[in-house]
Structure 1
Amino acid sequence: MVGDSYNWLWNNPVTREVARCPKVVGDLLHWGYSKGSGQEVVTKVVEVVPTDMINIPSYARWFVRLAGVSGASAVALGAYGAHVFYRREYPEELKQVYETANRYHFLHTLALLGVPLCRRPRVAGSLIVAGTAIFCGTCYYYALTGSKNVRQYTPYGGMLLIIGWLAMIL
């Protein structure tokens, strides 16, 4: 219960909302009036976090770190494509391949962020990392060099990506 000496503080709506901001999980305060007395009452709202969400194995957290590295490289390669590669006189096919590689690179970087929430993160994460490296890597290589030597491996990378997505539902 809030005492009378603090009424000036609690009647200010800005102060009340700032005080409501949780400092830690489960630290949210709720103001209301008790039914019988009509006095203002402050209660602490406790949020219960499911235990399985806290128990993410440490090896699964590495996929989040890999997603950070992969995301940074996808942004760098996207910037290179936009500012250097697309402005040069390359065939339109190579530009489309580069754009496809960059798009898939970004999408599967985001998929890596969800890997720690899977039941079998090692399997799903490893498949997605390998598939992204093979699929996007061969596409980037072909787009940048024009050499078709590694294009034969691109479908294998795509299959690993598909299997990686399916492994997320196991």
Structure 2
Amino acid sequence: MHIILAVFGLLGVAAFWWYRLKIMSEAAGEVADAVGRVRGSFRRSKLRKKAALAPVTAIDDPVTAAATVLLAIAAEDAVVSEALEMRVRTEIGAIVANEKHLEEAIVYAKWATNQVADVPRVIDKSTELLKPRLDEREKEQLVAMVLSATLPGERHAMFKQRVEQLRRKLGLEVTR
């Protein structure tokens, strides 16, 4: 009889430890799944940021880049109004060769600024294209275009910082 009790006792201990190992294995699997989800989330976030910048990184025309940076800074906190669009059109019209090129630049700039919500990145990516292609006078002209396209009453809280960032990225002296 005592042998039977010993066998049942050993079977009970084996069943207890088998159950404990099974639970620990499931917990480890859940931890591994959670880590995988977090890593996937980071990867998706990186891809989302790259996709969000795609409209700006695809710009290869200085006129379109200027129109995009101008609209992005001017309409950071608001929808592009018809009045703002007309002022931007007037400013860009002064540097463009023909009406068709102007229209393409404005349409693309409106679309790109609607796609990318991060204005500092728009400034960074646009100035990467513009800085080597513009001389000092043209860089100053671009900053002046931003200032004249945005009326003082329509300037948002971050406007001054965005203009300073644009000046810095273009390699111009920032006045305080």
Fold-level match, TM-score > 0.5? no
> TM-score under structure 1 normalisation?
0.21
> TM-score under structure 2 normalisation?
0.21
Larger Rg: 2
Higher strand fraction (1 or 2): 1
Higher helix fraction (1 or 2): 2
